[in-house]
Structure 1
């Protein structure tokens, strides 16, 4: 049966995969090798050096392409390494339009690394797609978006932005880390490139750092493969194996992340000490209807602001949590809590952070797959102190 005939929950297990040809191993072996024997110069079995390709990484890349409805997958040493490859498609003088509340590491890469090479970045509130066109000119070569955004949970209409991008012959790249292909598949909505920090939900167990790109078009894939090989920021075979293993349970984990996320969001929304909760599943979320249309469910990522709280109050809450772990990252089976202003988004200047709502009292939760009653009890004791 071809991958095209498989439904998503089957693709996570079988998509792009086949038993190992040597011994029939069901899981791809970890090919822990840097090089491969050749019968004659240039005579090899498809692999010559593991920076260029490795059988375990190839198995992961095939799986990534399958679950994102793409034709070509590329795996990198981290999500930022994957982003780095995309920006290397550009030239000095090119311009990029991105969302104004994206992940702090993405902002740092854009502003601190690539801006000095003559690439201009515009940060726009993309929840209103009409605001994007005002920043488009003949130098605009890429639109980079997250949806839901990190950490404000804004939802961007991928299909609308893709129509705009195609009208002006601009590449559209979507960071799909928060949603995962279980919830939304940007290539099906018109995006050209999908990016993941596979460290998060795809790996799912907080034990690996990997990035990914998926595309449909062969010419674009070839350009990215060249950059991947030439720059060398690839993941190793053990990391590839771990993410491939994680993908096989993505669908069942995401079901529980969504169930628990909904219960936690509803609990926080009713809590007398909570001022604001950001979660796209609420009917009063600014783009709830877009989320309903382009997402299967609303995910396990939530941000909230306690009433009358400042920096110290928010820090006290996250320090008092016992089931939630105070830590960077997200998307693991365990629940994590973070303080964006001092952790994930500290690289963004305070004035810029606060323009998009990332205030000092904002707390971000990655709701895991534990018993939801334990999670709610933990929040109750931490917020109540």
Structure 2
């Protein structure tokens, strides 16, 4: 019942919240404020606005009415106090991490996270910020991996490529007990299917290019947190680093958010049918998708998730680069490409350069293939999977 009420509330937020038609002359779609600056009648009024740029329209790198609508919607969906949107998901992740650490600090990553996030953490090493990975989702093992200078625990749940779940309430309590900030990339679940802030997580980030946009035509990111963190982040990592979301992208993102509940329900329905089919296929050794009862974190998912998106992975029984390449090249409905979360179905593998040793070290099978299940007729997708996996 709680999920039904939450979902109905979220649908209203996606469609109606902060549209303010009275303010925009009854326009059913808010206008796009495609301008770089805002003028004021007097110098003193401009000075006042500049001194409180977080709450006034001054320059496009700070605030913009179109962008602000998106931010208020996303904050409401995540049950957070404030949101800032960025020009990419990595810009949001960069801002969240840099705001949270200083030279000498340590970041603990839980299990598999996005490749570019790991590359960013390696880059931060030049500023004497260290990181390590605990390849486990067990809270006790995460606790044992905390160092004396750990200031951030960075999470993706489900984890990247392997789709294990992390007990967010338990890890957030662990972090708070040790004075550590928690950051989660919540792109997989979207704010509809997981609300980490309500479980004690400090900062939520999204790649808005995925499900939030949903049409493969928006590049953007979002960061949602409390007012205290956002006050420091806005004046430093947001304004100074300058990775603001343009109003044109915000307008497209608003369009995507309007249909987010409908699209996520369809992604979920298609993905469950695909995962169930693959689970019984003789060429597939394992399916990583939290909605399956066979998934090791199925019970935790029922407690923590409100639904399931369309991203999963499989392990081929014949786990080598040659077989992975052979299967992927046979796909027709699933297109070969990076990214995910849009209307189209996509396929890719982490075994891109025959890097099997590295994958094994990262607790991934060399036979891993990632499937982003889109909104096509599911029977078309099942037939495509059948022919791609056949000899």
Separation in 2, partners of 1:117, 1:350: 31
Instruction: Confirm or deny: 8 A CA contact 1:341 1:358 kept in the other structure.
Output: no
What's the secondary structure of 2:43's corresponding residue?
coil
Corresponding position of 1:231:
241
Structure 1 position 372, deviation (Å): 0.6
What's the secondary structure of 2:328's corresponding residue?
helix
Corresponding position of 1:179:
189
**TM-score, length of structure 2 as denominator length:** 0.92
Q: 9-18 or 253-262: which moved more? A: 9-18
Corresponding position of 2:117:
106
Q: How many residues align?
A: 376
Separation in 2, partners of 1:42, 1:144: 43
**Over residues 274-299 of structure 1, what are the superposed CA-to-partner deviations in whole Å (9 max), with x where a residue is unaligned?**
11111112223221111111001232
Structure 1 position 350, deviation (Å): 5.5
Whether 1:144 and 2:150 are equivalent positions in the alignment is no
| Counterparts in 2 of 1:22 and 1:171: CA distance versus 1, 3 Å | same
Separation in 2, partners of 1:85, 1:34: 22
Corresponding position of 1:200:
210
Corresponding position of 1:31:
33
**Over residues 323-349 of structure 1, what are the superposed CA-to-partner deviations in whole Å (9 max), with x where a residue is unaligned?**
111110010011111112328xx9xx7
Separation in 1, partners of 2:125, 2:149: 14
Equivalent residues in 2 for 1:230-269 (5 A)? 230-269=240-279
Structure 1 position 243, deviation (Å): 1.1
Corresponding position of 2:228:
219
Structure 1 position 19, deviation (Å): 2.0
**Over residues 203-246 of structure 1, what are the superposed CA-to-partner deviations in whole Å (9 max), with x where a residue is unaligned?**
0111111000001x211011121220111011111111111111
**Over residues 62-91 of structure 1, what are the superposed CA-to-partner deviations in whole Å (9 max), with x where a residue is unaligned?**
111011111101100111100110121110
Structure 1 position 95, deviation (Å): 0.9
**Over residues 41-74 of structure 1, what are the superposed CA-to-partner deviations in whole Å (9 max), with x where a residue is unaligned?**
2525821110011111111111110111111011
Equivalent residues in 2 for 1:350-361 (5 A)? 351-361=357-367
Separation in 2, partners of 1:184, 1:114: 29
Instruction: Confirm or deny: 8 A CA contact 1:101 1:353 kept in the other structure.
Output: no
**TM-score, length of structure 1 as denominator length:** 0.93
Task: Write 1 or 2 for the structure with the bigger share of helix.
Answer: 2
Instruction: Confirm or deny: 8 A CA contact 1:17 1:63 kept in the other structure.
Output: no
What's the secondary structure of 1:305's corresponding residue?
strand
| Counterparts in 2 of 1:277 and 1:42: CA distance versus 1, 3 Å | farther
Structure 1 position 6, deviation (Å): 6.7
Corresponding position of 2:69:
59
Separation in 1, partners of 2:292, 2:173: 27
Instruction: Confirm or deny: 8 A CA contact 1:20 1:27 kept in the other structure.
Output: no
| Counterparts in 2 of 1:285 and 1:11: CA distance versus 1, 3 Å | same
**Over residues 145-186 of structure 1, what are the superposed CA-to-partner deviations in whole Å (9 max), with x where a residue is unaligned?**
000111110111111101101111211111100011111110
| Counterparts in 2 of 1:262 and 1:308: CA distance versus 1, 3 Å | same
| Structure 2 unmatched runs, 5+ | 1-5, 50-55
Q: Residue 17 of structure 2 is aligned with which of 15, 18, 21?
A: 15
| Structure 1 unmatched runs, 5+ | none
Corresponding position of 2:3:
none
Whether 1:94 and 2:94 are equivalent positions in the alignment is no
Whether 1:326 and 2:336 are equivalent positions in the alignment is yes
Instruction: Confirm or deny: 8 A CA contact 2:319 2:365 kept in the other structure.
Output: no
What's the secondary structure of 1:134's corresponding residue?
helix
CA RMSD of aligned residues (A): 1.9
Instruction: Confirm or deny: 8 A CA contact 2:214 2:256 kept in the other structure.
Output: yes
Separation in 1, partners of 2:106, 2:317: 40
Corresponding position of 1:117:
127
Separation in 2, partners of 1:28, 1:325: 34
| Counterparts in 2 of 1:341 and 1:42: CA distance versus 1, 3 Å | farther
